[in-house]
Amino acid sequence: MIRESPSQVVGEAVPNIDHAVSVSLPTWEATVGYEEGEDWVVSKMSSGYPRFFFHPIIQTLSQRVEEKFGRSKEKCMIYPSYDIAKRCRAFIQEKAPQKTPVRLLQLSTPEPKSEAEKSSVIATTIGVVFFPTSVASLAKNYWQHAGEGISSRLAEYLLKTLFDESSSGQHSIKFNPVDLGASKSELQAKKIQALSPSLSVRKPRKDENMQESDIHIEQKYGRVLDLKFGDAAKTALRKRITGGLAEHVQQSTDTPLNYEDVYLFSTGMAAIFNAHRALLNSQEPRMSVCFGFPYVDTLNILKKFGPGVHFLGMGDDKALEELEENLENGSYNIMGLFCECPSNPLLKTPNLKKIRQLADKFKFAIVVDDTVANIINVNVMPFADIVVTSLTKIFSGDSNVMGGSLFLNPNSPMYSSLKQFFDKDYEDTFWVQDALVMERNSRDYAVRSKKVNETSLAIVDFLQKSPLISKVYHPSVSESKKYYDEIKTPNGGYGGLISFLFHDANDAVSFFNSMDFHKGPSLGTNFTLACPYTILAHYQELDEVEKWDVDRNLIRISVGIEDKDDIVEVIKFSLDETTKTHKL
């Protein structure tokens, strides 16, 4: 991969395409400015991580819906199903002052009228939540934590289908006045003003082979998304995920893995959220344990939905002893334990074998998030009841689509009850266009993963030799490496996420600002991506997270598939520049 010049423009989409997942925050100061809500950063934001930032296309759709159906001092959020909208309403009403009015609207797009239309027209139903502006922050909490909001591609389709009088025919909205609190006369379909959102496409770079056929270019960059292949793409994804794990499962003694036990979601966080919902609804609701310091919204889900959480943030052997003691003496009566293997951003791996023994003894479920390592590098299935993965990351790589998966272990003692829940409750809300893009992106993820593994080891070695750096975090050099090695696949590696600290906090700022990488949220991208992680993810609780060894000056790098020497050279240059600054 030829390394593209990283964006140094504050607020620019990364990559600079319509449906980008990340955004450029090229300096430490820009990241702080974003967290502080400073206008010089926020006013320039054309993109952002989708659960934290409303994509401009989603903003436009929301405005159209509010103009058409909203009331005074109301805002709305749009979800890919009515049931999800009901969950959002319940969350707002539970947290908001009593008698806060929250309304729901259900809208549907038309069925294709012919066989030919099946390539570009698909029937879908959405749920709209209307709420007073006074509780907008609560509504945004649900959007962020649960990860169940509509994608930018679905919003684009809805804008064209529901709000555009195009040459292909005038489409009227089908109204389903469920729980709207309005009369039928208020819900009669009306023609809506024409809106013609343009569909732009990422152009090939100059360094790419311009002799490719037009058809190949369209297929590669996503302009042609034949909707009638959506179901096939989803099946291919489920089989690809299954195959990645099945290769390492002892088929002679275990029930074979089946792709029908894989459930797709619109985001990785939605997979975690629905794993939690499954535990709450398939047994008596009890508290959970969050073992190890996780990505921020995993803990938020366990805190804000259901009976609550015991947080064992260190995630080490001592924490495991504390867990066992509390289970033995009855202080903990839990329904599930959630952990990451390895954790983000400290790259710790828990002792899954011991946790599995405790789970079998005390009858609780284990939910493992293997996103950071990915299913090529680790096999956590023998120890987990549920495996969740953010497909947005290295599985996709291109940073242009969100997605998540949830895999039920058929050998779990809880399999029957969990399967029964999903058979009854699961909704496939993974938008077909997103599935088509995800399927294309992930075809070579195993090859990309291997390259990232090799490059990352070289970077870890280089960073450890720098006298400026005080600590490097990576599964290959972690104190918990022995537990990672127990779940590492025969041909697997240690993944591409690396965190590190400087002896001097000022050096961290200098180094970060001089790095010629893309800088912003997310990980697992095909291009190397860096961020001052704690500032970005925990700015409002810097003192609190330091109790769990998450230093406020931590820098995190997600290694891409560029040439290894090029990546090392960028880091070397930044260290050299930092050394010069340090001597001044």
What is the tens place of the pLDDT at every residue in 471-530? Answer: 999 999 999 999 999 999 999 999 999 999 999 999 999 999 999 999 999 999 999 999
User: How many degrees, rounded to 5, is the angle at CA 348 between CA 237 and CA 293?
Assistant: 90
Mean pLDDT by 10 residues, the chain (584 residues): 74 93 97 96 92 93 95 96 98 94 96 94 97 96 97 96 55 36 31 24 32 35 75 97 76 78 98 98 96 96 97 98 98 98 98 98 98 96 97 97 98 97 97 97 96 98 98 98 97 97 97 97 97 97 97 98 97 95 68
Give, in degrees to the nearest 5, the angle at Cα 53 between 83 and 571. Answer: 130
- What pTM, to 2 d.p., does this model score? 0.89
Pairing of strands 287-291, 334-340: parallel
Output b/e per residue, 77-105; b: 16+ Cβ within 10 A: bbbbbbebbbbbbebbbeebeeeeebbbb
Question: 85: closest CA among 403, 427, 391, 423?
Answer: 427
CA torsion, ordered 271, 274, 279, 283, to nearest 10 deg? -150
Q: Could you say which of 3.40.50.11540, 3.20.20.10, 3.40.640.10, 3.90.1170.50 is the CATH number of the domain covering 231-584?
A: 3.40.640.10
**What pLDDT was estimated at residue 168?**
34
Query: Residue type at 166?
Result: S
Query: What tokens does 17 get?
Result: 């395409």
Determine how β-strand 103-108 pairs with β-strand 334-340: unpaired
To the nearest 10°, the Cα dihedral for 210, 213, 445, 572? 0
| Terminal C-alpha separation, the chain | 37
Whole-angstrom distance, CA of residue 114 vs CA of residue 521: 42
What is the torsion angle, in degrees rounded to the nearest 10, for the CA atoms of residue 242, residue 245, residue 248 and residue 254?
-60
Position 222 scores a pLDDT of 46
Q: Are 383 and 356 in contact (CB under 8 A)?
A: yes
**Cβ atoms within 10 Å of 324's Cβ, excluding its own:** 17
pLDDT in tens, 434-484: 999 999 999 999 999 999 999 999 999 999 999 999 999 999 999 999 999
Q: What is the pairing mode between strands 518-519 and 529-531? A: parallel
CA gap 283, 285 in Å, rounded: 6
Domain positions in the chain: 56-187, 231-584
Closest to 397 in 3D by CA, of 452, 347, 457, 348? 452
Q: What pLDDT, on the 0 to 100 scale, is given for residue 346?
A: 98
Q: Which residues contact 441 (CB under 8 A, 6 or more apart)?
A: 395, 396, 397, 398, 400, 401
Helices in 147-188 by DSSP H: which ranges?
Answer: 152-163
User: Which residue, 386, 388, 355, is CA-closest to 372?
Assistant: 388
> How many angstroms separate the CA atoms of 451 and 455, rounded?
6
- Bond from prior residue into 15 cis (ω within 30 degrees of 0): yes
Rounded to an integer, what is the distance from CA 134 to the centroid of its chain?
A: 28
Residues 386/275, Cβ–Cβ less than 8 Å: yes
Q: What is the DSSP string of 251-278?
A: TTTSPPP-GGGEEEESSHHHHHHHHHHH
Structure confidence at residue 211 (pLDDT): 33
Partnered with residue 289 across adjacent β-strands are 310, 337
The beta-carbon contacts of 574-581 under 8 Å, at least 24 apart in sequence, are 574/511, 574/512, 574/514, 574/515, 574/516, 575/466, 575/468, 575/511, 577/510, 577/511, 577/514, 578/468, 578/502, 578/507, 578/510, 578/511, 578/514, 579/468, 581/506, 581/507, 581/510
Phi, psi of 488 (to 5 degrees): -70, 135
Q: How is the chain split among helix, strand and coil, in percent rounded to 5?
A: 40, 15, 40
Name the nearest CA neighbour of 6 among 21, 16, 20, 18: 16
How far from the centroid of its chain's Cα atoms is residue 29's Cα?
25
In three-state secondary structure terms, 282 is helix
Separation of alpha carbons 491 and 243, rounded Å: 15
- Cα separation, 414 vs 364, in Å, equals 9
Q: Of 204, 83, 89, nearest to 139 (Cα)?
A: 89
Six-digit token string for 41: 């950063």
Secondary structure of residue 506 in the 3-state scheme: helix
Which tokens belong to 231? 């179901």
**Neighbouring C-alpha atoms within 13 Å toward the C-beta of 88:** 36
Surface-to-core class of residue 547, CB atoms within 10 Å of its CB (0-12 exposed, 13-18 middle, 19+ buried): exposed
Please state, in angstroms and rounded to a whole number, the distance separating the CA atoms of residues 406 and 408.
7
